[in-house]
Structure 1
Amino acid sequence: MIQKREAHELPSALKQFNELKAHFNNKIPAVFLDYDGCLTPIVQRPEMAILSDEMREALHKLASVTKVAVVSGRDRQNVAELVKLDNLYYAGSHGFDITGPGAMASEPGGAKAALPALDKADLVLQEKLKEIAGSLVERKRYAIAVHFRNVADDQVEQVRKVVDEVLSSMPELKIGHGKKIYELKPNMDWHKGKAVLWLMEELGLNNANYLPLYIGDDITDEDAFAALQEQGIGILVGEHDDKTAATYRLESVDDVLIFLNSLTDTIKAQGHG
């Protein structure tokens, strides 16, 4: 049974860092992170989410002592180009497209079958939403994000109506929710949680030496928090509109930076890396 709490009820991963470390029990934390809202602040448009040099350096150092993967709703190639580090693993499109060191390249989840429906839905959404000021239809390889952050409040319902109309005519797709977006994605039993478990298995981390740790800020990250609740640690950044299956909380992207650097130091102190 997955346990969920309000975000404000979670202990701080920084203030309770010694308590959190006790969970390691000499295990090495394998780290999985979302990109938007976790490694970079939430911004008005996706292309504005630029990784800071400090965060890139923190990720690079962490990846030198343990396995690190960025698990994002963005296209895998897009998030890899934003992070610009070749010692990380990248799971794009909520884990439908995964690459990493050692020439890893896989598309688990079977999303290729949904590409024709995504192509068609993209055209319909672009046409039907072009008159709604502030709306943005962002096509990814295995998803379509309909952003309404910049849409007037009295027109958000119209955006949702258009999305529902498209979904009702395309059973190959389903809706996903995020911060000020509706996302159309393959109607398959695959999500960030399953992608993390797949990576754990693929990288040989399902043993007594490793402990999975997932950091994310969005509702889409809840699948990963739930998947790891009994065998790992979930850390929510900020809050979203629902209860969370995370174990700890960080307030901001700045706190994530501090936490990652502390984590690197802890792993080194354990004699790893």
Structure 2
Amino acid sequence: MRHLFSPDGLAALDAVISRAPLVGFDFDGTLAPIVPRPETARVPLPLRHRLERLSALLPVAVVSGRSLPDLSDRLGFEPRYTVGNHGAERQGGTSAAGHELDGLRDWLRRYAAGLHAAGVVVEDKGLSLALHYRTASRPDHALATIRELLRPFGAALHTFPGKMVENVTAPGSPDKAVAVHDLVRESGAPCAVFFGDDVNDEPVFASAPADWLTVRVGFDDRETQAAFFIHHTQEMVPVIDRMLARLVADA
């Protein structure tokens, strides 16, 4: 995987921006740094100003695992599209029913004391549940506790890991790939650029046609289908600056 600021990466970025793509971003770990307390996450001010400018020139989407009400107060700018709950929640309606997770909700309430003792925090986002263990004193034990509680549900639920979190959605819920492909069609854009940092972004990377540009934020040992990478969220500022410069040059 090559860095986006390599010669090949910059050439690919310039070429795709010249086609006026949809530009999609994950939120946590992409636009906002990962923080110990998720409720404090915000888009940094320098990046926010650049995203405001970009949103006036291209269709911009934020596609997050957060719920839309949670996400909306953290951006500081108005993208054309926002998608929550890993792809299942859209502005003006939802694509899945939260009641499919009611059995799990009851099960987790039954074992609330054990989860609390393990340092697990349950976040109910309506169309998905997140079991966080970032602040657990023994993260391996917390993760084992979560997986043991989820094990009886088997294929009745869709579970996938994240950064110090296990996520749960109903089987068949739209994922981020479905959402981004839908937004490309809806916007009329010829292609897309997508930036993400976690497991739930991989379906977008894996499903991207050859003329899309996909970028992983963060470089580690995990396999990824993204074409390029940047090291961390701070590099989003020069990335957006490059996009804006290309758009000005093409105007």
| TM-score, L = length of structure 1 | 0.83
Instruction: Trace 1:120-139 onto structure 2 (pairs within 5 A).
Output: 120-131=103-114, 132-139=117-124
Q: Give the whole-Å Cα distance in 2 for the aligned partners of 1:130 and 1:263.
A: 49
Which residue is 2:127 aligned to?
A: 142
- Relative to structure 1, the CA distance from residue 233 to residue 182 in structure 2 (aligned partners, 3 Å threshold; closer, same or farther) is same
In structure 2, list runs of 5 or more residues that go unmatched.
none
The letter for the 2-side match of 1:247 is: A
Q: Give the whole-Å Cα distance in 1 for the aligned partners of 2:143 and 2:18.
A: 49
> Out of 13, 16, 24, which is 1:21 matched to?
13
Q: Give the whole-Å Cα distance in 1 for the aligned partners of 2:209 and 2:218.
A: 18
CA deviation profile, 1:30-71 (whole Å, cap 9, x unmatched): 200000000111122321212211121121111011010000
Verify the 8 A CA contact 1:40 1:49 in the aligned structure 2: yes
Three-state SS of the structure 2 residue aligned to 1:24 is helix
> Out of 44, 48, 58, which is 2:36 matched to?
44
The letter for the 1-side match of 2:6 is: K
Three-state SS of the structure 1 residue aligned to 2:224 is coil
Q: Give the whole-Å Cα distance in 2 for the aligned partners of 1:226 and 1:51.
A: 26
- Relative to structure 1, the CA distance from residue 87 to residue 117 in structure 2 (aligned partners, 3 Å threshold; closer, same or farther) is closer
Q: Give the whole-Å Cα distance in 1 for the aligned partners of 2:33 and 2:17.
A: 32
**Structure 2 residue 95 is the aligned partner of structure 1 residue 95:** no
- Relative to structure 1, the CA distance from residue 232 to residue 162 in structure 2 (aligned partners, 3 Å threshold; closer, same or farther) is same
Verify the 8 A CA contact 2:33 2:41 in the aligned structure 1: yes
- Relative to structure 1, the CA distance from residue 203 to residue 216 in structure 2 (aligned partners, 3 Å threshold; closer, same or farther) is same
Deviation at 1:156, TM superposition (A): 2.7
Which residue is 1:213 aligned to?
A: 193
Three-state SS of the structure 2 residue aligned to 1:130 is helix
Q: Give the whole-Å Cα distance in 2 for the aligned partners of 1:20 and 1:14.
A: 10
The letter for the 2-side match of 1:124 is: W
**Between Structure 1 and Structure 2, how many residues are aligned?**
246
- Relative to structure 1, the CA distance from residue 25 to residue 198 in structure 2 (aligned partners, 3 Å threshold; closer, same or farther) is closer
Q: Give the whole-Å Cα distance in 1 for the aligned partners of 2:63 and 2:47.
A: 16
Deviation at 1:266, TM superposition (A): 1.1
Q: Give the whole-Å Cα distance in 2 for the aligned partners of 1:191 and 1:67.
A: 20
Q: Give the whole-Å Cα distance in 2 for the aligned partners of 1:95 and 1:189.
A: 8
**Structure 2 residue 163 is the aligned partner of structure 1 residue 182:** no
Q: Which moved more, 1:155-164 or 1:18-27?
A: 18-27
**Structure 2 residue 202 is the aligned partner of structure 1 residue 226:** no
The letter for the 1-side match of 2:2 is: P
Q: Give the whole-Å Cα distance in 1 for the aligned partners of 2:90 and 2:29.
A: 21
Choose between structure 1 and 2: higher helix proportion.
Answer: 2
Verify the 8 A CA contact 1:216 1:237 in the aligned structure 2: yes
Over aligned residues, Cα RMSD in angstroms? 2.0
Three-state SS of the structure 2 residue aligned to 1:28 is coil
- Relative to structure 1, the CA distance from residue 150 to residue 229 in structure 2 (aligned partners, 3 Å threshold; closer, same or farther) is farther
Verify the 8 A CA contact 2:192 2:212 in the aligned structure 1: yes
- Relative to structure 1, the CA distance from residue 183 to residue 155 in structure 2 (aligned partners, 3 Å threshold; closer, same or farther) is closer
Q: Give the whole-Å Cα distance in 1 for the aligned partners of 2:244 and 2:183.
A: 21
Which residue is 2:141 aligned to?
A: 154
Deviation at 1:25, TM superposition (A): 7.9
